[in-house]
Amino acid sequence: MHEDARVEAQKQWNARACGELPGDKQSIDYFDAVARDRYLQQPWMHDYFRYERFTGKHVLEIGIGQGTDMMQFAQAGAVCHGVDITANHLKLTALNATLRGITVDLHEQDATRLPFPDNSMDCVYSFGVLHHIPEIDQVVSEIYRVLKPGGRVMIALYYKWSAFHLFWKLLANGLRNGWLFTRGYDGLLATIEMGADGITTKPYVRLYSKAEVCRLMKVFEQHDLSIHQLHEDHFWPSFVGRLARNHLKRLEPRMGWYVTYQGFKPHAAFK
């Protein structure tokens, strides 16, 4: 990983964990509250990823946050592995698992060099992480390497043509507030992350179109490519959101915040 991007990512998420809430972080009630908040904001995730179908399977998560999604796999009986470059995330995920009596295999390692053998994973999962890695092509190659033939890859990336990007980041923050001129586009995108100002704290962020995701994941057999998560408050100004209120389901596949991909490592590659 580019050293600057790595340092900025560690600065961002060591200061504030992804999805962090107030409360006693030594308590299972805290981690349950984080999970409730996550899936209240993103209620589509369980139906889309179907964590329960990986019982007995080896699942690797790239970028583990506080272990919220990993616990969904683990509680369904998956054998869970995780990598993250943020000490804070690794500590919180380990505690989340311990409080639940779950054993997980965690590594402080960036995803360009995964510490696992070839053809060892049944599933590689990453939600909202790979768009923070400049060498994403290397990560995809590593995902391909560690997946078993027929293994599944499931990822979610920020979508370039989302309402949130177009209306809030470009129009409201970028032009109205002038951040495009004071922070630049890279700094503007960094402010997507909670607590980042795009100047002193500037995590690397890239947005992806569906066509770019197809090119990125071309070595896999595609199962699904779709757009998810659109809320009224993704639009600016507020009257635009009110106008969109009754059309969110129709607009979501075009303007949602995440572009998601599911695919398989071909068996034919090993014939």
Whether this model's pTM surpasses 0.85: yes
Q: Is residue 93 part of a domain?
A: yes
The domain in which residue 73 lies consists of: 3-158+202-230+256-270
> Could you report the per-residue pLDDT of 202-235, keeping only the tens digit for each?
999 999 999 999 999 999 999 999 999 999 999 9
Buried b (16+ CB within 10 A) or exposed e, 87-114: ebbbebbebbbebbeeebebbebbbbeb
Domain count, the chain: 1
Q: Is residue 183 part of a domain?
A: no
Identify the segments of the chain with pLDDT beneath 70. 1-3, 268-271
For residue 201, count other CB atoms closer than 10 A to its CB.
17
Q: Is residue 122 part of a domain?
A: yes
Q: Is residue 89 part of a domain?
A: yes
Q: Is residue 139 part of a domain?
A: yes
Q: Is residue 165 part of a domain?
A: no
* CATH code: domain of residue 115: 3.40.50.150
> Could you report the per-residue pLDDT of 88-123, keeping only the tens digit for each?
999 999 999 999 999 999 999 999 999 999 999 999
Q: Is residue 134 part of a domain?
A: yes
Q: Is residue 220 part of a domain?
A: yes
Question: Phi/psi zone of residue 151: left (φ > 0), alpha (ψ -120 to 50 degrees), beta?
Answer: beta
Measured between alpha carbons, how far is 148 from 49 in angstroms, rounded to an integer?
Answer: 19
